[in-house]
Structure 1
């Protein structure tokens, strides 16, 4: 009985092998295509990254060359001639607006171009608004400055704390010291305010005769020794 069983097993194994080879001949090309797609996709990704890196490097070099140009007028012309797309356009325009001492009107015009571009992310436009208010200064009516700053001082806006600080300074300009102190004290404990902004706000509050807010942690630390003394 063993010989017939062995023969049947060998035949079955041969049939399975032939079927496997048949399937491989019929569908094996799919594996090759998958491998080619994976290799091709990886190569394309690396090529795209290299191209973007080269593009960014070329843009940066062009900006540096433009800024090395002699006169302010020549620098602005050189900057305007730098090829740029997407976010690069905003960066180029903001750099062009970084020299108000040399050409204030051109700086304001560059900032207005960024503000007017509704296709940009709010962060870029908010930054341009904040910068424009600072560059324009007292030449821009106080009501217009306040309206511009209030538009970017809402909760969740990227430069909310900086805009709130400038709004407090407008209160000082109006003579409302009490209102300015209240606004600045709030900034000294604001979570979205940086350490330098909080320190600056605290200094102005002190200069106005107010008292900066005491952080909760500091109050707790001061209360602990007092409690210990009472127990003693």
Structure 2
């Protein structure tokens, strides 16, 4: 490399360095701000996570303390005094409170507690569906069959996790109304449904036999 080429290369490097320093002076604050935002955002997320964990721990401790009460009525009252500041926490607390109220012989109070979950749009849908199912079960002996049937029918539809359990309850309503054929058909649908648990299918099979039905084993595509 000639002296001239070497000199030109050195000058070019100097120009590049000068430009880089110029850019850093002019736009360096953007990079610094980005770093501050990234670090600050990570710190804020950690703070929020810690706060959520602390609230969940506090709620769990409060519920456990309430459950140490000896009498059912006392546990129900103690749980009713606990408050939750998240929708999921409120749902779990309501389920526990309703259970204690039911154990204490207060089904109406338990149903009202569960209704508060059903009516709360901020609570995830699955919790509201569970609350509806539990409320219907609690009131099965006090509300009219048509209302009870309509309630379970809203849950016995595709896409609802409680669909099979609601179908079982509809079959029991059919039995109570003397419609044995409808009940057998519902139990058979449970036997054939892949979403039904083994325990639920076992109950359906036993019910069909008791009703004088002829349970049909599910057929696979190969058998067809």
Q: Normalising by the residue count of structure 1, what TM-score does the alignment of the two structures yield?
A: 0.84
**For the Cα contact (< 8 Å) 2:174–2:180, is it kept in 1?**
yes
TM-superposed deviation, 1:217: 4.0
TM-superposed deviation, 1:166: 0.2
Partner of 1:202: 205
Partner of 1:102: 104
CA distance in 2, matches of 1:133, 1:175: 20
RMSD: 2.4
TM-superposed deviation, 1:101: 3.3
**For the Cα contact (< 8 Å) 2:76–2:104, is it kept in 1?**
no
Q: Secondary structure at the match of 2:158?
A: coil
CA distance in 2, matches of 1:147, 1:71: 35
Structure 2: runs of 5 or more not aligned: none
CA distance in 2, matches of 1:195, 1:107: 30
TM-superposed deviation, 1:14: 2.0
Q: Does 1:176 align with 2:179?
A: yes
Partner of 2:13: 13
Alignment of 1:1-232 (within 5 A): 2-85=2-85, 86-99=87-100, 100-103=102-105, 104-217=107-220, 220=223
CA distance in 2, matches of 1:208, 1:169: 11
CA distance in 2, matches of 1:92, 1:72: 16
Count of residue correspondences: 221
Deviations 1:67-110 (A, max 9, x none): 11233332222212212122222211111111323222322222
CA distance in 2, matches of 1:20, 1:219: 71
4+ residue runs over 4 A deviation:
none
